[in-house]
Amino acid sequence: MRFNPKARLDRSRVKDVGGSRGGGLPGGSSRGLPIPGGMAGGGIGGVIVIVLIFVLSQVLGGGGGGGGLGGYTTSRISDAQDTGRYDGCETGADANENPDCARVAVENSLTDFWDGELGGKFEAEGALVTFTGSVNTGCGTAGSEVGPFYCPADTSIYLDDGFFEEVLARQLGGPRGGFVEAYVLAHEYGHHISNLLGFFGQVRTQQGPQSDAVRLELQADCYAGMWAKHATQTEDSQGEVLIAELTEEDLDLALEAAATVGDDRIQEKAQGTVNEESWTHGSAAMRKTWFATGYQQGSLDACDTFSVPRV
Ligand SMILES: [Zn+2]
């Protein structure tokens, strides 16, 4: 992945809140993370699984309907909490040099792409927030064991600093490289798109290979593929294309990363056996398939994982 060195970056939605702040939650401290039985303390087994349960518990417990837009604005990350980590990220040239700035650039490309795709239905995500240790969000306090996640209550994406190296690469044996993070960000952004389009309200069944929870996750993978397909044609508000080049290798990294976080792979690593009935995100094969579907077909309709009999 190479960025257009002349393109300007928009840092307005990308924040870093640094290390753990402690303290209570804006919305009350009772919103703990429900940890599924048998997964508590299981390290990598819990990482990805908890994310969805966490998100769903917010959606399903948060007044129902099509996601939690609005009403939680007080919990949004304020500028005062920002460490200034991204202050030096100004151009695509910075993104080519510095992984922090590449994160800003990928966020910008995702926002530009989905703005064009959704038109009047589009709203940018609240923020993309990086943290170390733990973070207070509109969905409660989250620690790094949660892995990257989207919080529908504040429409923000949260990303722990250690996830890519410590969890994805070392614990799960996944790939390393710039496009691995781009895939994960695109997946989380995909959850935001599902939220905007009202799909969160369709989630009833939460576990199993054909469950609504898995369909929501595969939809996010499909949306990630959709963005990847169009990324090198997506223009910013100045008419500049931000992502100048994506290679076959980048796409392979995305597919490999998608497979690494498949439920079957994680279960094999964590417990040595695979139990389909507890799946929340889909198998490695399913995740690759849906990323590829989004990439090849490149349309919202093709990513309607809720309307197909089997995903
Ligand atoms: Zn997800």
Closest CA to 221 of 150, 301, 295: 295
Residue 46 has pLDDT above 60, yes or no: no
Rounded Cα gap, residues 35 and 149, in angstroms:
15
Rounded Cα gap, residues 232 and 235, in angstroms:
8
The two structure tokens encoding residue 253: 């990294």
What are the E-state strand segments in the chain?
A: 2-3, 14-16, 128-131, 134-137, 140-143, 149-151, 156-160, 243-245
Rounded Cα gap, residues 300 and 311, in angstroms:
15
Tally Cβ neighbours within 10 Å of residue 198.
12
Q: How confident is the model at residue 72 (pLDDT cuts 50, 70, 90)?
A: very low
Instruction: Tell me the sheet residues that pair with 140.
Output: 137
Q: If you measure from the C-alpha of residue 211 to the centroid of ligand 1, how many angstroms do you get, rounded to a whole number?
A: 14
Rounded Cα gap, residues 153 and 55, in angstroms:
9
Rounded Cα gap, residues 283 and 214, in angstroms:
9
What pLDDT, on a 0 to 100 scale, did the predictor assign at position 80? 66
What pLDDT, on a 0 to 100 scale, did the predictor assign at position 223? 98
What pLDDT, on a 0 to 100 scale, did the predictor assign at position 35? 31
Closest CA to 193 of 104, 69, 106, 280: 69
Q: If you measure from the C-alpha of residue 185 to the centroid of ligand 1, how many angstroms do you get, rounded to a whole number?
A: 10
What pLDDT, on a 0 to 100 scale, did the predictor assign at position 32? 35
Q: If you measure from the C-alpha of residue 125 to the centroid of ligand 1, how many angstroms do you get, rounded to a whole number?
A: 15
Query: 4-44, pLDDT tens digit by residue?
Result: 999 999 999 999 999 865 444 443 333 333 333 323 333 44
Q: If you measure from the C-alpha of residue 249 to the centroid of ligand 1, how many angstroms do you get, rounded to a whole number?
A: 23
* Per-residue b or e along 262-272, where b marks 16 or more CB atoms closer than 10 Å to that residue's CB: bbbbbbeebee
Mean residue pLDDT of the chain comes to: 86
Q: If you measure from the C-alpha of residue 74 to the centroid of ligand 1, how many angstroms do you get, rounded to a whole number?
A: 24
Query: 183-235, pLDDT tens digit by residue?
Result: 999 999 999 999 999 999 999 999 999 999 999 999 999 999 999 999 999 99
CA 204 to chain centre: 21
Given a contact cutoff of 8 angstroms between Cβ atoms, the answer to whether 228 and 251 are in contact is yes
Q: If you measure from the C-alpha of residue 61 to the centroid of ligand 1, how many angstroms do you get, rounded to a whole number?
A: 18
Mean per-residue pLDDT, 105-117 = 98
Kindly state the helix (H) or strand (E) to which residue 63 belongs, with its residue range.
none
Residue 79 has pLDDT above 90, yes or no: no
Q: If you measure from the C-alpha of residue 260 to the centroid of ligand 1, how many angstroms do you get, rounded to a whole number?
A: 13
What pLDDT, on a 0 to 100 scale, did the predictor assign at position 76? 59
Reported pTM: 0.85
Q: Which residue has the higher pLDDT, 253 or 76?
A: 253
Rounded Cα gap, residues 105 and 115, in angstroms:
15
Q: If you measure from the C-alpha of residue 148 to the centroid of ligand 1, how many angstroms do you get, rounded to a whole number?
A: 8
Q: If you measure from the C-alpha of residue 21 to the centroid of ligand 1, how many angstroms do you get, rounded to a whole number?
A: 25
Mean per-residue pLDDT, 60-81 = 48
Q: How confident is the model at residue 126 (pLDDT cuts 50, 70, 90)?
A: very high
Query: 147-178, pLDDT tens digit by residue?
Result: 999 999 999 999 999 999 999 999 999 999 98
Q: How confident is the model at residue 144 (pLDDT cuts 50, 70, 90)?
A: confident
What pLDDT, on a 0 to 100 scale, did the predictor assign at position 222? 98
Rounded Cα gap, residues 269 and 93, in angstroms:
39
Q: If you measure from the C-alpha of residue 213 to the centroid of ligand 1, how many angstroms do you get, rounded to a whole number?
A: 9
Q: If you measure from the C-alpha of residue 189 to the centroid of ligand 1, how many angstroms do you get, rounded to a whole number?
A: 9
Report the percentage of the chain scoring pLDDT > 90. Answer: 77
Residue 117 has pLDDT above 80, yes or no: yes
Residue 257 has pLDDT above 90, yes or no: yes
